[in-house]
Amino acid sequence: MKRKISIKLILMTVVFFKYSMVLSQKQTFKKLDRTQEKKINNLFNEWNSSTSPGASIAIIHNKDIVFQNSFGMANLEHNIPLSSTSLFNIASNSKQFTVFAILNLAKENKLSISDDIRSHIPELPNFEHKITIQNLMQHTHGIRGITPLLGMAGWNIEDVMTRESILDMLSNQKELDFKPGSGFSYNNSGYMLLAEIIERVSGSTFHDYLRMNIFEPLGMNTTVLFEDNEKVIPNVANPYYYDGTTYKRGIRNFKDIVGNTGIRTSIQDISKWVNNYESQIVGAQDIFEKMVEPAVLSNGVKLNYCYGLKNSEFEGRQVISHGGAHIGYRSQILRFPSENLAIIVLSNNGSLDADGKAYKIAEILFKANGENSIDKADSKNDLAMLNSENIDFSGFEGKFELQPGFIMEFEQREEKLFITATGQGTFPLETIGERVFKISQIGATIEFTENSQGEFDSLSFNHGGQKMNGKRVIFKLDVSQLEAYIGLYYSPELRTTYELKIENGTLIAKHTRQDKTVLTPLNNSEFSGNTWFFGSLNFQYEKEKIAGFKVSTDRAKNVLFKKINGDIIY
């Protein structure tokens, strides 16, 4: 049955730019003009408010900060605006500092990047394959990602997580996602282990090592490591995220979990680190050359990921980059060596696409005199916003499989459409067309396709120019069929138990410390979970009876849960 959507369009122009559609002729950046400055400021107009968290940005040319500005608030509770000295968690941009520390220790002959990591952390399991320090730095180690493991084990985002508990959990794993060197999986486990190695080899705490070898020599006097959830940090920008209605505080209680994240720095301080790649006040040429060597898999495939940095191209020129995302923090650092140019975006707004903003600044800078460049692109005021009056999203509701085991579920709540993706959480969608929506947090778009019966049975997902198609999930099992899956399931590796039961005709996985996971059948043995830590479940059989299941997400594969008989006391 065809469902009509009554939509009133506000008369505005919709402008979409892909990063690859900017230049027909390569331009060299020479000087920032007023037109470009205005266009850059316009990119952040949406967050230039006393009621919104925002961002600090800087453009560096020939080691001089030629543009710097801050938008929005550092603290919504106390009405404190962001400034050039506000401290942000740069999240995964911390990884390049960790790599520098490892390579610096290697230069001092205190370790080798070819070392087996068990020679430094012997309590780690023997996976029957050597995992090197280099594997950790390049995400080619195959160790499961700690974040989804914590979620599966019942840890909540607000729990106090310690390095000791992380090491204990990683030491209890029995399998790798892949043979070291044969694959790539970006996750935080490797960098947490690198921080542990740095401490054991150097004899200093991770914070002290960075302070003595990087922060103090470069004059990064306000930069600190947030290694203690109770630590007081002056001038820190609080993290926020938008839940579709209002901004909320982001909470993450880490205790000595570093290496993968944790550095709090300002736009002024991080500029000194960025300039150090050229000035080399700390470090040496061979270290920085190593950091941009691409990872090469055992089958010869070369990646654009290197050592805590990405080495790729943007509009025909080399760009060295890395992004970061952690609760409400976002960051992106781009360096264009041939132009002696760098772009930095630091944000305390989880809804702000720092990656997209940084590249759009690059678009503007590489246009001759700003001609034909973006004018306030990607802000809410420049998209064709839809009147929410009388909108019916029910035709889009349901579940779509984007790839095996990866489900996008859409649900209308009042006057918004929400998406819940396998292992990714729930986000509100921004309406930009009759059947086109945007996930603002990552800058991706979704377009639904209508079949001849007037039903939306497929969609296309576009992120960064990469397009994937998905089909509506139509496989179903009735209650009598679902009863075969009911029971208690225990994971020896995570030391935790789930109960599978039926609620309102749906199979769910229930844990005492987590939100229930709704399980969607894809076939008789494979189900998809709707929580960020439960991706796909594959049921295992022995003598035609269910013996357990294996859970997989994109960063942790085949975690075994065995079916147990009888009751269990939590």
Residue 188 pLDDT more than 80? yes
DSSP alpha helix (H) spans, 142-301: 146-152, 163-171, 189-202, 206-210, 216-218, 267-279, 285-291
Task: Judge whether 530 and 422 are in contact, CB under 8 Å.
Answer: yes
Residue 541 pLDDT more than 80? yes
What average pLDDT is seen over the chain? 88
Sheet holding 329-336, edge to edge: 64-71, 55-61, 341-347, 329-336, 317-326, 310-314
Task: Judge whether 365 and 279 are in contact, CB under 8 Å.
Answer: no
Which positions ≥6 away from 24 have C-beta within 8 Å?
none
Residue 465: how many CB atoms within 10 A of its CB?
9
Which residue from 106, 559, 546, 76 is spatially nearest to 307, judged by alpha carbons?
Answer: 106
Per-residue confidence (pLDDT) for residue 275, from 0 to 100: 98
Would you place residue 567 in the very low, low, confident or very high pLDDT band (cuts 50, 70, 90)? Answer: low
Per-residue pLDDT, averaged over 65-90, amounts to: 97
Give 162-187 pLDDT, tens digit per residue. Answer: 889 999 999 999 999 999 999 999 99
| Residue type at position 555 | R
Element (H, E) at 480: helix 479-482
Whole-Å CA distances, 111 to 52, 117, 209, 428: 46, 10, 15, 47
Q: Which residues pair with 67 in a beta bridge?
A: 59
Q: Point out the least confidently predicted range of 7-11, 150-154, 173-177, 449-453.
A: 7-11
Q: Point out the least confidently predicted range of 39-53, 192-206, 246-260, 262-276.
A: 246-260
Would you place residue 11 in the very low, low, confident or very high pLDDT band (cuts 50, 70, 90)? Answer: very low
Supply the DSSP symbol for 522: S
Per-residue confidence (pLDDT) for residue 443, from 0 to 100: 76
Per-residue pLDDT, averaged over 243-255, amounts to: 81
Per-residue pLDDT, averaged over 431-450, amounts to: 88
Locate 4 and state its tokens.
Answer: 């009509």
Up-side HSE of residue 229: CA atoms within 13 Å toward CB? 14
Element (H, E) at 62: none
Residue 24 pLDDT more than 70? no
Per-residue pLDDT, averaged over 28-37, amounts to: 86
Per-residue confidence (pLDDT) for residue 386, from 0 to 100: 43
Residue 3 pLDDT more than 60? no
Residue 305 pLDDT more than 90? yes
Give 495-531 pLDDT, tens digit per residue. Answer: 999 999 999 999 999 999 988 999 989 899 999 888 8
Residue that is written with structure tokens 């997989």 in the block: 552
Residue that is written with structure tokens 């070291």 in the block: 180
Per-residue confidence (pLDDT) for residue 368, from 0 to 100: 53
| Residue type at position 543 | K
Backbone angles phi, psi at 94, to 5 degrees: -65, -25
Q: Give SS3 for 272.
A: helix
User: Cα–Cα distance between 532 and 456 in angstroms, integer?
Assistant: 25
Residue 490 pLDDT more than 80? yes
Per-residue confidence (pLDDT) for residue 27, from 0 to 100: 65
Per-residue pLDDT, averaged over 35-62, amounts to: 96
Residue 232 pLDDT more than 60? yes
Task: Judge whether 2 and 454 are in contact, CB under 8 Å.
Answer: yes
Supply the DSSP symbol for 302: B
User: Cα–Cα distance between 379 and 323 in angstroms, integer?
Assistant: 20
Residue 54 pLDDT more than 50? yes
Element (H, E) at 456: strand 456-463
Per-residue confidence (pLDDT) for residue 30, from 0 to 100: 75
Per-residue pLDDT, averaged over 228-245, amounts to: 87
Task: Judge whether 227 and 305 are in contact, CB under 8 Å.
Answer: no
Supply the DSSP symbol for 177: S
Which positions ≥6 away from 422 have C-beta within 8 Å?
405, 406, 407, 408, 528, 529, 530, 535, 536, 553
Give 372-419 pLDDT, tens digit per residue. Answer: 443 433 434 333 344 444 567 889 998 898 877 688 889 988 778 999
Q: Point out the least confidently predicted range of 65-79, 319-333, 359-373.
A: 359-373
Higher per-residue confidence, 8 vs 112: 112
User: Cα–Cα distance between 44 and 410 in angstroms, integer?
Assistant: 29
Per-residue confidence (pLDDT) for residue 570, from 0 to 100: 46
Backbone angles phi, psi at 361, to 5 degrees: -65, -45
| Residue type at position 16 | F
Per-residue confidence (pLDDT) for residue 486, from 0 to 100: 96
Task: Judge whether 233 and 87 are in contact, CB under 8 Å.
Answer: yes
Ranges 275-284, 390-399, 421-430, 471-480, most confident: 275-284
Task: Judge whether 381 and 510 are in contact, CB under 8 Å.
Answer: no
Per-residue confidence (pLDDT) for residue 16, from 0 to 100: 32
Instruction: For the chain, give percent helix, strand, coil, nearest 5.
Output: 25, 30, 45
Per-residue pLDDT, averaged over 40-67, amounts to: 96
